[in-house]
């Protein structure tokens, strides 16, 4: 697997430190509240697992499945949201947890769905942000790192469902996805 990688972009140590900082910020921002933290599957699963253990609040943890990619490295342009919401959003302080904010298509689709269910508040937390690639204007309230405009894998992020298990974020050799 490692022979497919070009270079490590964010190391395990860098990620660990940054995730703890984001957790501390959320703890501060939501004092006295019980946020509803919603992970967007599948890419957020590693980030969310680590972030959740830095959260010191009584919070509810849920997941929804959304994807705009399919089996490819370019966005298909439409969001598929895989399940009906099987939990209440109305009146809740919702935090969406995503692996990476790229074109913005996935998160803006999910945001629309959440907002149509009348949350008390909504914030977005993304491990990585590629601001130069945005097709829809949307910003995250909590961002781990600004990511160079390269296709990256690891720490939950995949290419064709592989590499999610890498403990760091790395770029792939172009010949792997060419
Ligand atoms: P967006 O809808 O274009 O903002 O893309 C968000 C989703 O696309 C993320 O949840 C990822 O699943 C996927 N994605 C975007 N960029 C990358 C990347 O560099 N590597 C792996 N997945 C990515
Ligand atoms: Mg994803």
How many whole angstroms separate alpha carbon 51 and alpha carbon 127?
A: 10
How many structural domains does the chain have? 1
pLDDT tens per residue across span 60-83: 999 999 877 544 445 556 677 776
pLDDT tens per residue across span 141-165: 999 999 999 999 999 999 999 999 9
Q: Which atom of ligand 1 is nearest to the CA of 103?
A: 3
C-beta of 89 in contact with ligand 1 (< 6 A): no
C-beta of 106 in contact with ligand 1 (< 6 A): yes
DSSP label of 99:
E
Please give the residue range of the domain that contains residue 71: 2-177
Task: Answer for the pair 84, 65: CB distance below 8 angstroms, yes or no.
Answer: no
How many whole angstroms separate alpha carbon 69 and alpha carbon 71?
A: 6
Concatenate the DSSP letters of all residues of 1-65 into one string.
-GGGEEEEEE-HHHHHHHHHHHHHHHHHHTTT---EEEEEETTTHHHHHHHHTT--S--EEEEEE
48 — pLDDT class (breaks 50, 70, 90): very high
Choose among 84, 105, 89, 107: nearest CA to 36.
Answer: 89
CATH of the domain at 131: 3.40.50.2020
Over residues 163-172, mean pLDDT: 97
Three-state DSSP class for residue 177: helix
C-beta of 23 in contact with ligand 1 (< 6 A): no
Give the number of other CB atoms < 10 A from CB of residue 148.
Answer: 11
Phi then psi for 15, rounded to 5 degrees?
-65, -45
Output the pLDDT for position 120.
Answer: 98
Question: What global pTM score does this model have?
Answer: 0.93
Residue among 44, 66, 69, 166 whose CB has most ligand 1 atoms within 8 A, to mutate:
69
DSSP label of 160:
T
């Amino acid at each position: 697997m490692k022979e497919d990688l070009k270079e490590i972009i964010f190391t395990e140590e860098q990620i660990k430190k940054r995730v703890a900082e984001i957790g501390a910020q959320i703890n501060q921002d939501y004092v006295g509240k019980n946020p509803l933290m919603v992970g967007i599957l599948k890419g957020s699963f590693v980030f969310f697992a680590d972030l959740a253990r830095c959260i010191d609040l009584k919070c509810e943890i849920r997941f929804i499945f959304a994807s705009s990619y399919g089996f490819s490295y370019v966005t298909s342009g439409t969001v598929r949201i895989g399940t009906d919401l099987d939990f209440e959003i109305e009146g809740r302080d919702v935090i969406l947890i995503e692996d990476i904010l790229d074109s913005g298509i996935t998160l803006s689709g999910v945001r629309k769905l959440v907002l149509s269910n009348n949350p008390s508040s909504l914030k977005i937390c993304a491990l990585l942000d590629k601001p130069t690639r945005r097709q829809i204007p949307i910003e995250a309230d909590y961002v781990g790192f600004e990511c160079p405009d390269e296709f990256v894998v690891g720490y939950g992020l995949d290419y064709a469902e592989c590499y999610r298990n890498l403990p760091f974020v790395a770029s792939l050799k172009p010949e792997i996805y060419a």
